[in-house]
Structure 1
Amino acid sequence: MPPRADAERSLLVVEDLCLSYRTSRGPVRAVDRVSFDLRRREALVVLGESGCGKSSLAKALLRLLPRNVDQVSGQVRLAGLDLLALSEERLRVDVRWVRIALVMQASMNALNPVVRVGEQVAEPLRVHRGWSRARALERAAETFALVGVATDFLQRYPFELSGGMRQRVVLAMALVTEPDLVILDEPTSALDVLTQASIMNRLKQIKAELGTSFILITHDVATSSELADRVALMYAGQIVEVSDAAGFFREPLHPYAQRLMASVPRLHQAERPSHIPGQPPSLLSPPAGCRFAERCPRRHGRCVEEPPIFQRPGRHAVRCWLAAPGGST
């Protein structure tokens, strides 16, 4: 997606971000020319099937990368600051946990089992702000209240908390430094539906009260709709549609988005949910044309060519030949 005229109003601008891994069978392009922007006080949901590159995208934004990284390229600008051009030391000191925090997948297992949770939430303030232990613990208590955890839980160990409470503690750890952006990677996937709803409602409250921007990475359409202002749909390492949430959930344009929404059960729906046949392509050797073509009920002759991003009115973009001028979306 080309740079947009309103990019100066954005908190985060990502342009042509690529990330590939070395493997014994060759390089795997997990993130392939991904572009999007995120404004302040906005929540962007990144949707897609498992293995489409969502978690790799989250790690690429903060350069939290494993040793088998083959290539990282593109631009990631936070309020004009190019994060990929920063030294590792400056990124660690000035950006991670200070301006961008990450709640990682399976984050409930990230807590140290032999350290009280209050100390763990206070630690980013002591490391990055240089605060005293007492001041940091006082701020940790305030953040506990923000995420819906009683302050007497500060003295508890992780094993004394339920799964939902541990997830809230990890969220508090991400919020305690008041970063501009919090990236949430499948934050509710291991929780029951009532706890999921409670945490999503808490996130909406935090966004309204603190003005925090969020990137929520998930495969759960129903959960994501609670928080989303905008949606970016990933497929086989690429973003194939970016839209405002209301438009996406009501009338998606990309055939993959349409099939995905048709698979979601809804109340008062006469039709039974349908499935998407087939499997996503291997990222070791993705097809030369449209990556969804083999599974697409609307494929046609031009799908052997890779579609570019087509801009639609507003901040809407679609990677599909059907969205070209004169197409039939």
Structure 2
Amino acid sequence: MSEPTLLRVADLALHYRTRRGVVRAVDGVGFDLRRNEALVVLGESGCGKSSLARALMRVLPRNVQHTGGRVMLGETEVTALPDERFRREVQWSRMALVMQASMNALNPVVRVGEQVAEPLRVLRGWSRRRALERAAEVFGLVGVSTDFLSRYPFELSGGMRQRAVLAMALVAEPELVILDEPTSALDVLTQAGIMNALKRIKREQGTSFILITHDVATSSELADRVALMYAGQFVEVADADAFFSRPAHPYSRMLMASVPRLRQRSRPEAIPGQPPNLFDPPSGCRFAARCPHRFARCAHDPEAIRLGERHRVRCWLHDESTRRGGA
């Protein structure tokens, strides 16, 4: 029996105002996430992955031009909540974020344990002793000795600091944790340790994850589902097995062909061209200029076409009329 749906996102948008114009960083994204499920969001740098995390968590810069869409967390429409209520009832307590390069954001003059315990003291009014006891529990969960609770951030390695930040996100037992490139600045062995900790937390705690990354190999360790993002849109969302073995979108196929593999005779293939300018994205398929299969219909924005129960692809090649020979 499948797990119930935890998160539903429909037509999510986040646009920034700059001197050069409006950047449509997230432009009509929709997906769902079940409880105890891990969704990996893949994509090139600049495609809008980090902006997606900011939009979901309302961690927004001052130059926001437009936000829109609907986000349901369980039975709560969180997009309808006032900012103060969202901060009090959702942020950290139900949905937490580990931001990119967050391990460098720890306060250097405050002991690590105090920083991990802070969300419980601020949001729930716990005593310092009780909050530190919970911080010690979560340190054990992420594989860090409780000896590190009394240390300062500069006394921890990069991997230990990343685990401490992960502990901070988990300390209030949120239903969903969003991780933005959590292993990008770490060596391979430390990356493996972090991913093993996430798998254990998912298995033992039932936590759902959204992992944002450009690292296909690392993401495959945790993924139950994969969403491929391109130029502010999701172009394919599929179960991990289907995505990694039978990608449907041309961009998905080219991305998988670019990944080095063991026991592979052929060389990895580069993806030609550059992503479109998000100040003025094309009106049709945003991947068309780089796609070897483009045809006349690609001048129109493709719909999200259903290939399976939870498999969607944004490409006219999979439309029924195209398969019948129409254009």
Structure 2: gaps spanning 5 or more residues:
none
CA distance in 1 between partners of 2:81 and 2:158 (Å): 36
CA distance in 2 between partners of 1:182 and 1:327 (Å): 39
CA distance in 2 between partners of 1:287 and 1:155 (Å): 53
1:289 alignment partner in structure 2: 284
The 5 A counterparts of 1:1-329 are 9-325=4-320, 327=322
Residue identity in the other structure for 2:255:
L
Give yes or no for contact 1:101–1:181 (8 Å, CA) kept in 2. Answer: yes
CA distance in 2 between partners of 1:80 and 1:304 (Å): 38
Deviation at 1:129, TM superposition (A): 1.4
In structure 2, the residue corresponding to 1:77 is in which secondary structure?
A: strand
RMSD of the TM alignment (CA)?
1.1
Residue identity in the other structure for 2:25:
A
CA distance in 2 between partners of 1:198 and 1:63 (Å): 30
Runs of 4+ residues over 4 Å off in structure 1: none
Give yes or no for contact 1:20–1:71 (8 Å, CA) kept in 2. Answer: yes
Q: Render the CA deviation track for 1:237-258: whole Å, top value 9, x for unaligned.
A: 0000000001100110000000
Residue identity in the other structure for 1:41:
N
Give yes or no for contact 1:113–1:159 (8 Å, CA) kept in 2. Answer: yes
CA distance in 2 between partners of 1:51 and 1:70 (Å): 18
Deviation at 1:189, TM superposition (A): 0.2
CA distance in 2 between partners of 1:82 and 1:327 (Å): 37
CA distance in 1 between partners of 2:321 and 2:281 (Å): 27
In structure 1, the residue corresponding to 2:320 is in which secondary structure?
A: coil
Structure 1: gaps spanning 5 or more residues:
1-5
Q: Render the CA deviation track for 1:42-81: whole Å, top value 9, x for unaligned.
A: 0000000000000000000011100100010110110121
Query: How many percent of aligned residue pairs carry the same amino acid?
Result: 72
Q: Render the CA deviation track for 1:138-177: whole Å, top value 9, x for unaligned.
A: 1100100000000111010000000000000000000011
Residue identity in the other structure for 1:83:
V
Deviation at 1:326, TM superposition (A): 5.1
Deviation at 1:327, TM superposition (A): 4.4
TM-score computed with the length of structure 2 as normaliser: 0.97
Residue identity in the other structure for 1:323:
H
**Which segment drifts farther, 298-307 or 159-168?**
298-307
CA distance in 2 between partners of 1:307 and 1:314 (Å): 19
Q: Render the CA deviation track for 1:71-112: whole Å, top value 9, x for unaligned.
A: 101101101211221111001100000000000000111100
CA distance in 1 between partners of 2:244 and 2:256 (Å): 7
